[in-house]
Amino acid sequence: MTPKENNDSSVAGVGDRLTRRGYIATAVAALGTSALAGCSGSRGESLEPDVPDGVPETVETQYWREWETINAESPPLDYSATAGSVLDQLPVEFSSEDDPWMREHALMIQRGLSDLGIVARLNDRPLNQLYAQSWATKGLEAVISMSTHGPDPQRGLDPNPLLMRRAEGSLSNYDNYYHPELQELLTEQAQTTDRAEREELVDQAQEIFAEDVGALITLFPNIITAVNTNRWSGYVKTPGNGPTMDSFVWTEVNLQPETDSRTYVKGVSTSMNSLNLPWAAGGAEAKRLTFIYDGLFDATPDLDVVPALATGGGFVDDTTVELTLREGVEWHDGEPFTAEDVKFTVELYDEYASTSQVPFYEPIESVEILGDHEVRFNLTNPDASFMTQRVVRSVILPKHRWEDVDNPSQHNPDAPVGTGPFRFEDWEQGTRFEASRNDGHWMFDDDWRADALGDQAERGPGIDTVIWVNVSNVDALIGSLQSGSIDAIGTNLSTLQADRAANTSGIERMSAGSYAPLDGKLMFSCPLIRDKEFRVALAKAIDSQGFVEDFLQGQGTVPAGENPISSLTQWHNSETTDYSYDVEAARTILERAGYTWDGDDNLRFPNGDAWGAFVERLQPENTYKRRSELDQPDFS
């Protein structure tokens, strides 16, 4: 069959790979016509429904199992399948606020759907609206919903933050996804503290998810920014964070001045809302204030766990962890750090329900002090991720500063006191945040840093002060960098934006890989998505590699299959099922599953006996099975 010319979406035909200029031109045309939220209805020529006895003529989007986490009668998405009918326009949502190129990525998805005979209705939504409305446990508001995961360190250290969101009991299971074998594996690996045994389970989980097309994991986009290299050397290219973002502090402790100034100024576009890190709502303060505080452990650019306030220890048994704490550490006000601070911190978080520290304290039943610098954590259940994502995510507070605070969740310290590599100096909300070097901190020890950073480590006097300056938008950030008002841009740029900044002498574009995937979430309560034949065809219709090469200019990595665990991490399975890009093969899969096309190449749902087979594939016990596993015939 010949793919159609789709005037509604202005998408080129199969085989005409879009150039960078072509993507931009298509964006202007397509988003002006087919991205009309609220426009619905079918088009094309449907067949007269031919329905086997006992099979419904129409299947609605619905909950296909009992969800303990969902308090709703029906999903928010209204999308049905009817025997022999042309597919309605498929709602696809994204936010261009998420990444500079997310709109063009949505066009790639739209083009893949078009090549299968489906019109996509793109909806570019405000990012906060997606968080508040569609990315909810009750289910997505679109059939496909795209976002790039944040570069939080725990996503590179442990598989749980990305895999466990597809678990049955996860409040982040926005796609209503369930696979019984995967569920068992996820539960088992989460409680397996033996590293080798757990790696085998995690490998199996990645293979099941990729083979099942549990989502469209299209790429791991590079983190791109621009910096002044005339003034500073020693920028650390950290995965997921790049050299200038705030999830890691490595650049700021490693920078060496090339001039007389030791004040490093970073331009940012998001502002802090408070100075209370443990009860932060996930905003900029949740990252920037980690420069002031320390956790028990830290993560290197190689995603190894290294000592911080704890220098050693580990599991004594499946539910007991004993740690040795660093001696000689002082809080910024001169008071000594001891095990009392660790015990107090955990109990305070638990009593007052710290929002940002849930991953750390949630599995802890109690803390025992074994000595001035020794603690024991008694866990409620075995927790394999405790010595990776949880201890690295931890923030330890000074007992002497917080024990008399009446309402910690509402407390806004005038001057936060931590043990971190930087001391608080000043904060003007919406304008600037300033911190100064904590000279006694181990991260400023050249030898310690050389062990942690390897070839990226620089020796020298380092910086005295780091200042975050709020700048209104990307254009203003680039202008400030080029004029010398700031030394670096602390946000992600597109390749074009970074190249524009680097047109000025002394400014350099920098890029680093990422372990945070672009996740095309699929609404598994929707009948179309429940058909594994369709999911496999969809995966084969998406030209992710072409997008990375042609539009991102190679600034990204395409995974082998729909695997959310990056090859940059120590948990990656490189042998997962990969449904390679092949539109003709994708259409053949649909044809054999009973789908047909009308004279204008609009895809129609199966009809007759093929409709009965389609409905069979949607059932809870079958949605993860192919036709051959159900002994269904070839309907082509």
pLDDT value for 150? 85
Are 92 and 142 members of one domain? Answer: yes
| Average pLDDT of the segment spanning 476-490 | 97
Query: At 5, which amino acid appears?
Result: E
**Interstrand relation of 256-257 and 120-124 (parallel, antiparallel or unpaired):** unpaired
pLDDT value for 12? 33
Are 530 and 610 members of one domain? Answer: yes
Whether 32 shows a pLDDT value over 90: the answer reads no
Whether 34 shows a pLDDT value over 70: the answer reads no
Last residue of a domain, one of 465, 485, 512: 512
| Average pLDDT of the segment spanning 126-136 | 90
Whether 51 shows a pLDDT value over 90: the answer reads yes
pLDDT value for 336? 98
3-state SS record for 94-160: ECCCCCCCHHHHHHHHHHHHHHCCCCEEEEECCHHHHHHHHCCCCCCCCCEEEEECCCCCHHHHCCH
Tokens of 172: 């982040």
Using a pLDDT cut of 70, give the percent of the chain over it.
93
**Residues 395 and 301 sit within 8 Å (Cβ to Cβ):** no
Last residue of a domain, one of 419, 435, 452: 419
Least confident of 4-8, 45-49, 546-550: 4-8
3-state SS record for 269-330: CCCCCCCCCCCCCCCCHHHHHHHCCCCCEEECCCCCEEECCEEEEEEEECCEEEEEECCCCE
pLDDT value for 371? 98
Are 309 and 320 members of one domain? Answer: yes
* Environment class of 125 (CB within 10 Å of its CB; exposed 0-12, middle 13-18, buried 19+): buried
**Residues 129 and 37 sit within 8 Å (Cβ to Cβ):** no
353 located within any domain? yes
Q: Residue 413 is part of a domain; what is its CATH number?
A: 3.90.76.10
264 located within any domain? yes
Tokens of 364: 């802890």
| Average pLDDT of the segment spanning 226-252 | 96
pLDDT value for 541? 98
Query: At 283, which amino acid appears?
Result: G
Question: Residue 107: in which H helix or E strand, if any?
Answer: helix 102-115
pLDDT value for 259? 97
**Residues 4 and 537 sit within 8 Å (Cβ to Cβ):** no
pLDDT value for 156? 92
- SS3 of the chain: helix, strand, coil, percent, to 5: 30, 20, 50
pLDDT per position as a tens digit, 196-223: 999 999 999 999 999 999 999 999 999 9
pLDDT value for 24? 56
CA dist 558 and 546 (Å) reads 10
Tokens of 200: 């085998």
How confident is residue 42, by pLDDT bands cut at 50, 70 and 90? very low
pLDDT value for 272? 92
pLDDT value for 283? 74
**Distant-in-sequence, close-in-space partners of 483: CB < 8 Å, separation ≥ 6:** none
pLDDT value for 29? 53
CA dist 558 and 565 (Å) reads 12
Taking the CB of residue 536, how many other CB atoms lie within 10 A of it?
21
**Interstrand relation of 90-94 and 120-124 (parallel, antiparallel or unpaired):** parallel
284 located within any domain? no
521 located within any domain? yes
The position carrying tokens 């933050």 is: 161
pLDDT per position as a tens digit, 74-114: 999 999 999 999 999 999 999 998 888 999 999 999 999 99
Are 50 and 187 members of one domain? Answer: yes
pLDDT value for 18? 52
Q: How far from 419 is each of 161, 174, 336, 360, 451, CA to CA, in Å?
A: 27, 38, 10, 18, 21
pLDDT value for 14? 37
| Average pLDDT of the segment spanning 121-139 | 93
| Average pLDDT of the segment spanning 564-583 | 97
The position carrying tokens 């909810």 is: 136
Domain count, the chain: 3
pLDDT per position as a tens digit, 154-174: 789 999 999 999 999 999 999
CA dist 559 and 566 (Å) reads 7
Are 500 and 352 members of one domain? Answer: no
**Residues 453 and 236 sit within 8 Å (Cβ to Cβ):** yes
| Average pLDDT of the segment spanning 538-560 | 96
Whether 11 shows a pLDDT value over 80: the answer reads no
Chain CA centroid to CA 148, Å: 5
Whether 282 shows a pLDDT value over 80: the answer reads no
Beta-bridge mates of residue 465: 263, 436
**Residues 569 and 303 sit within 8 Å (Cβ to Cβ):** yes
Are 261 and 163 members of one domain? Answer: no
pLDDT per position as a tens digit, 323-353: 999 999 999 999 999 999 999 999 999 999 9
Whether 17 shows a pLDDT value over 90: the answer reads no
CA dist 94 and 103 (Å) reads 8
- Of the CA atoms within 13 Å of residue 161, those in its CB half-sphere come to 23
Are 52 and 164 members of one domain? Answer: yes
288 located within any domain? no
CA dist 121 and 77 (Å) reads 14
Are 183 and 54 members of one domain? Answer: yes
282 located within any domain? no
pTM for this prediction: 0.89
Beta-bridge mates of residue 238: 242
pLDDT value for 132? 87
**Distant-in-sequence, close-in-space partners of 194: CB < 8 Å, separation ≥ 6:** none
- Of the CA atoms within 13 Å of residue 454, those in its CB half-sphere come to 8
Q: Please compute Rg for the chain using Cα positions.
A: 26
pLDDT value for 202? 98
What is the DSSP secondary structure assignment for residue 386, as one 8-state letter? I
pLDDT value for 281? 73
Are 217 and 113 members of one domain? Answer: yes
- Which runs of consecutive H residues, i.e. helices, occur in 138-234? 154-157, 160-163, 180-190, 195-212
287 located within any domain? no
pLDDT value for 41? 46
Question: Residue 365: in which H helix or E strand, if any?
Answer: strand 364-371
CA dist 421 and 409 (Å) reads 25
Taking the CB of residue 32, how many other CB atoms lie within 10 A of it?
10
Tokens of 570: 């120590």
Comparing CA positions, the residue from 616, 620, 528 lying closest to residue 66 is 620
Comparing CA positions, the residue from 115, 10, 1 lying closest to residue 541 is 115
**Residues 518 and 108 sit within 8 Å (Cβ to Cβ):** no
pLDDT per position as a tens digit, 459-468: 999 999 999 9
pLDDT per position as a tens digit, 515-526: 999 999 999 999
Are 553 and 624 members of one domain? Answer: yes
pLDDT value for 64? 97
Last residue of a domain, one of 464, 488, 512: 512
Tokens of 8: 């509604």
CA dist 199 and 571 (Å) reads 7
Are 316 and 360 members of one domain? Answer: yes
Q: Could you list the residue range(s) of the whole structural domain that residue 387 is in?
A: 293-419
Backbone angles phi, psi at 20, to 5 degrees: -60, -45
| Average pLDDT of the segment spanning 7-33 | 46
504 located within any domain? yes
**Interstrand relation of 488-489 and 90-94 (parallel, antiparallel or unpaired):** unpaired
pLDDT value for 5? 29
Whether 547 shows a pLDDT value over 60: the answer reads yes
Are 554 and 623 members of one domain? Answer: yes
Tell me what the pLDDT averaged over the chain comes to: 92
